[in-house]
Structure 1
Amino acid sequence: MDKTIIAIEVVYALADKQKLLRLTVPAGTSVRQAALLSGMDGYFPGLNLATAPLGIFGKAVPKPDERVLEEGERVEIYRPLIADPKEVRKQRAAKAAKNRAEAGEG
């Protein structure tokens, strides 16, 4: 029995290093399975493909173990956030308000 094969890409990037791999995988492969099959963790020590957040073409996939890939899709492996973006915005707004208040006092 001939199993259908599809072509996909898997990508990961750090600030100073990026890797794009083109793979052929069996139809029915999940986003997580594709990440694991890519072997990207061999290029980036410390990368945990079993738990890393994943997406397709810039959109996060909430259930990468269930989402089945289609021909030509690009799986993106995301880095964990260092800081919560909402918290960073709050801190920046508080600092700007403090600077405005200090400037107005002089």
Structure 2
Amino acid sequence: MIEVEVVYACLERQFLRAFAVPEGTSLRAALTASGVAEAFPELDLATCPVGIFGKVVADPENQLVQAADRLEIYRPLLADPKEIRRLRALKAAQARQSEQ
């Protein structure tokens, strides 16, 4: 058995659980075994993006977890960061123009 940790955060609360899985367990199977789906019924573990230590895993069905891995479940972004920066820059430019 190896120890792993699963983390997930939504706006209202967080999920953090350390537990043991058999060696050779896939990332998706470890997430299912963590109980996160019961704590967050709206979460679709079959399709949500996941990663290990901040790096997205493209194929969680075949990615095996290692001892001490931090398994992360990612939420979709509410807004595109590039678009937010563009709008902020536009607003700042408009504010500078109105000051002149």
Task: Check whether TM > 0.5.
Answer: yes
Give the CA deviation at 1:90.
1.0
**1:19 aligned to 5, 15, 18, which one?**
15
The farther-off stretch of 56-65 and 92-101 is 56-65
Percent identical pairs in the alignment equals 50
Q: Any stretches of 5+ residues in structure 1 without a counterpart?
A: none
Q: Give 1:51-70 correspondences, 5 Å limit.
A: 51-70=47-66
Q: Spell out structure 1 runs of 4+ moving beyond 6 A.
A: none
1:49-93: CA deviation from partner (whole Å, max 9, x where unpaired): 111111212232233223211111110111111111111111111
Equivalent-residue separation in structure 2 for 1:62 and 1:56 (angstroms):
11
Q: Any stretches of 5+ residues in structure 2 without a counterpart?
A: none
Equivalent-residue separation in structure 2 for 1:54 and 1:65 (angstroms):
11
Q: What SS is found at the alignment partner of 1:92?
A: helix
Q: How many residues align?
A: 100
Q: What SS is found at the alignment partner of 2:76?
A: coil
- Work out which of the two has the higher radius of gyration on C-alpha atoms and give 1 or 2: 1
| TM-score, normalised by the number of residues in structure 2 | 0.86
Q: What SS is found at the alignment partner of 2:6?
A: strand
| TM-score, normalised by the number of residues in structure 1 | 0.82
Alpha carbon RMSD of aligned pairs, Å? 1.5
The farther-off stretch of 83-92 and 62-71 is 62-71
Q: Which residue of 1 aligns with 2:76?
A: 80
Q: What SS is found at the alignment partner of 1:98?
A: helix
1:6-63: CA deviation from partner (whole Å, max 9, x where unpaired): 1111111123311211221122222222112212021123111111111212232233
The farther-off stretch of 30-39 and 76-85 is 30-39
Q: Which residue of 2 aligns with 1:71?
A: 67
**2:41 aligned to 24, 40, 45, which one?**
45
